[in-house]
Amino acid sequence: MGFKRFIGKVGLKVGRWKTVYNVPADLGNAVCIVAPHTAIADFFVGMNFYWYFGVPFKFMIKAEFFKTKLLSWILYKIGAVRVDRGKKNNLVEQMIEMFHQNKDTHLIICPEGTRKKVNHWKKGFYLIAEGAKVPILLGFIDYKKRYCGIEKVFYPTGNYEKDLADIWEYYKSIKVMGKHPEQFNLYELYSPENHSEQ
């Protein structure tokens, strides 16, 4: 067992997390969305999960976190992709290019875009998946059941409104609960026309 897998296993065991990873071995690249996202602890649960299952992953993180050379090195080492929200950038195109340069890699995205309660999801995850022609993995972290993982692979059809409604119905059906449930309304359908581009 490799070092990362050992750390992931210990982290999940200490946190009493049960896991599921229902993803075909030959799936290749994918966008993995994770909901709900209500606490910074979600990141560590997800990292331990991916280390334990030995799947390469990337995640986008705000430029403010890259304050020192040491911290930047650590973040890049564990899969961070630096994002400067204050500048105009072609984030979707950058992530599509990232997929072209990597294989069997999951790009982890929290479509809520923040740990606070929101009434819409950001559309970037869908645009990236569609542009890169990769599936969307529906990941979840349920603090009530101490259960996390990926049970469903979703293939975008190009009809964003319908696909988003189907994705949201899935999350409603499994009744996940975030660490701070008041920041995630499971039964409040989001309106696709209000979703931002990234």
Between CA 19 and CA 52 the distance in angstroms is 10
Segment 146-195, tens digit of pLDDT: 999 999 999 999 999 899 989 988 998 888 887 876 667 655 555 545 45
Beta strands in 36-160 (DSSP E): 57-62, 80-83, 106-109, 136-142, 147-154
Give the SS3 label for residue 122: coil
- The pLDDT assigned to 32 comes to 97
Instruction: Give pTM, 2 decimals.
Output: 0.86
CA angle (99 as vertex; 193, 134 as ends), nearest 5: 55
Residues 6+ apart with CB under 8 A from 13: none
Pairing outcome for strands 147-154 and 136-142: antiparallel
Tokens of 27: 């799936």
Segment 5-47, tens digit of pLDDT: 999 999 999 999 999 999 999 999 999 999 888 888 999 999 9
- Average pLDDT for the chain: 85
What domains lie within the chain, and their CATH numbers?
A: 24-180 (3.40.50)
- Whole-angstrom CA distances from 153 to 53, 130, 139, 197 are 17, 14, 9, 22
Segment 51-94, tens digit of pLDDT: 999 999 998 887 777 888 888 788 888 887 887 765 556 888 88
DSSP state of 26: T
Segment 102-156, tens digit of pLDDT: 999 999 998 876 666 666 788 889 999 999 999 999 999 999 999 999 999 999 9
Between CA 23 and CA 178 the distance in angstroms is 23
Sequence length of the chain is: 198
Between CA 160 and CA 140 the distance in angstroms is 21
